[in-house]
Structure 1
């Protein structure tokens, strides 16, 4: 039986690891990349916060911490796991107010801009003279996600990237070649029509949830249609363009005619996955972690129908990405040691990736031969990844406004042009308020 949908906050906290059903037990000896020696300042205790990693990943975390402590005599790591990303924000503010600030904090792109805007976290270049060299160590698209106003505020931990997951059986019934999945969005729309016409199933589900690889509206606009979300100065919305209108019109037409599943309008990540598992749609655009969920929630014969390919190329030129960062609060007692530990811990993600399909933040780890062993892992590292989200403190409110207007357009309540104009107006209000 397909389990009930996990909460949105749990998905946002776990990103590529996904729902609790994807959590698998850690085992074995864990490797890691040794960073440069920590600054010598005598004994130090670093408080290290992660988001939702205690369940299933405690041996991995504790093993990596133990190795670091052995390599850095006098340094003790106190690990604290926060159940979800929303608690991270409130708990960090409370810790700062109470004078008990952690040294390394796992943050999501939802909250990083808020702390950067209030100067509550360090820019990386204030903690090292080699910020450029540090940046060069990481996957460019993931590093850029932490660059706000020209300054980098975070060390990438791990990420996720969208892929095409499709039902080869429905492709064959529709007269499509399963060995040649759609490579761009024109081909996606054509394949979706064929699947619907020949089988009665919908062609694809592309949900509007604001999670990374669930097809959020910023990816539909910037990644697929190739339109900028913001003006060059970042003060105005820039997405209400003819290209965006035409692309959103295609979505509205697809929903009306049935070749885009209606679940796309109000559904979330797992709603699309369930429909794919039930054979009711031909394609979804999710991270490759969903294959493990499908394997656990379908029979062997059904699972063999599911294939994975690179995300169809959009006008934006790269697959949509999401990630988890490490940030260093200004009130941290040992900020330079904290940066050293954050860099070290980002070098442990090969072992994490062997438990759950994640994209390592470090470019050198992404080049490890392990990622070429299966199609599931290849799509993580063979695609260029880009972070299409607006890096603004009001990102959650901006997404909510955009999602609501997309829903109006897909349901036929508003023309696509009007929906995008109304969303842009709301974005301009939020940008002007600086919230």
Structure 2
């Protein structure tokens, strides 16, 4: 279904535990260094080698990646990449054990919020030399994308893409009910006016999901739009129970209470309803762009998220290349792995066809990417996109946020109480993780 497989989030806690043996002192031990990689991957002129590449791209993005790997292999006979794809939960079970046994892959891809935990447990190693050799710099990327690849002052990730939230809207149903299908709402007033029009025609126009996919992401986007943040500036405590957080969650809950959304929306029911004409506006991930393009009965458009608050705010994440720790230094394989990373990121417009925004600004602004239908609004929103902070074990704390959002959207707790209770649970997790992984 999506590059961000929800099973990764549900099972990630189990996946990280097996890696603890890699770093007996958590994140406090000295991080291992990557083997020397020649020219950092700018080119490869060594003997024929096979590079093992692991990722969790089980959906259409996996097919796109395999096509790109095949093209790379055909163009570079001395570097043959063998790609292994796992469910994300299985990926994080297998990777630490494989690294520990000396049978880990040469290169892998993971999300921004996975890298700090894997770095703290010494499953992956710094690759500052790759970024330096290839001349990559912060100005090449949106700040959140570039900074998201760092952990404790070292670079662990080479950015591949951005995948963020956007507004999907059913043009067919809008037009049928007297709304302009070419003018999706961009502000709170426009959004509510459209919902009132639809409600008057018997259509519940903005279904609110109580689940992380994608109600939890909607809440985070609204939190930033109202001027709040998920964590404190030093990431030591949850900050989502601020006034901004209460405003954001209250707005979502009021959509349910006031009949703009059904109660008790099931997992993915909001998205399914969009596709069958029962829902009109869906805060959904870029990964569904190719899916809605196949519809015959309804035409679905995409637009930047409406600004319900006073500023832009969009949930997002990023795939980045990482280098797993190796027990031995095969200089040829090391340089070949970096060469593959360089090649893949330079072909980001091809990768974008799997419904992604290229991480590099130049490629996101290039003609090849702009020719891909349905993605431009997501690229426009990259400037407002926020990513999970670079803190080991951060997903454990975020899970409590999503539980709190769910409780409020299901009308089991009022927004302030739900967020405060979730913050209390998260703060304990953050303190425990600091001891577990090191400062």
Common fold: TM-score over 0.5: yes
CA 1:353–1:233: 2 relative to 1, 3 Å: closer
| 2:249 is the counterpart of 1:248 | yes
Q: CA deviation at 1:374?
A: 5.7
TM-score scaled by structure 1? 0.79
SS of structure 2 residue aligned to 1:59: helix
Contact 1:289-1:357 at 8 Å conserved across structures: yes
Contact 1:164-1:285 at 8 Å conserved across structures: yes
The unaligned stretches of length 5 or more in structure 2 are 9-38
Cα-to-partner distance string for 1:157-201 (whole Å, 9 max, x where unaligned): 2332322111234434555433322113453344323322x1222
Equivalent residue, structure 2, for 1:325 = 320
Cα-to-partner distance string for 1:1-51 (whole Å, 9 max, x where unaligned): xxxxx59974677xxxxxxxxxxxxxxxxxxxx995347776654322232
Contact 1:181-1:309 at 8 Å conserved across structures: yes
| 2:369 is the counterpart of 1:371 | yes
Contact 2:41-2:341 at 8 Å conserved across structures: no
Equivalent residue, structure 2, for 1:422 = 421
Q: CA deviation at 1:90?
A: 1.6
Q: CA deviation at 1:407?
A: 1.8
| 2:310 is the counterpart of 1:310 | no
Q: CA deviation at 1:271?
A: 2.2
Distance 1:224 1:414 in 2: 23
Distance 1:79 1:125 in 2: 24
Equivalent residue, structure 2, for 1:62 = 70
CA 1:142–1:206: 2 relative to 1, 3 Å: farther
CA 1:85–1:288: 2 relative to 1, 3 Å: closer
Cα-to-partner distance string for 1:361-394 (whole Å, 9 max, x where unaligned): 2322212213333651322323334233243333
User: What value does the CA root-mean-square deviation take over the aligned residues?
Assistant: 3.2
| 2:53 is the counterpart of 1:48 | yes
SS of structure 2 residue aligned to 1:392: coil
Contact 1:239-1:420 at 8 Å conserved across structures: yes
Contact 1:249-1:416 at 8 Å conserved across structures: yes
Distance 2:350 2:290 in 1: 17
CA 1:122–1:288: 2 relative to 1, 3 Å: closer
Of the candidates 276, 279, 287, which is equivalent to residue 277 of structure 2? 279
Of the candidates 147, 154, 161, which is equivalent to residue 151 of structure 1? 154
Distance 2:239 2:105 in 1: 38
Distance 2:135 2:223 in 1: 27
CA 1:147–1:190: 2 relative to 1, 3 Å: farther
The unaligned stretches of length 5 or more in structure 1 are 1-5, 14-33
CA 1:187–1:151: 2 relative to 1, 3 Å: farther
Q: CA deviation at 1:417?
A: 1.0
Contact 1:39-1:337 at 8 Å conserved across structures: yes
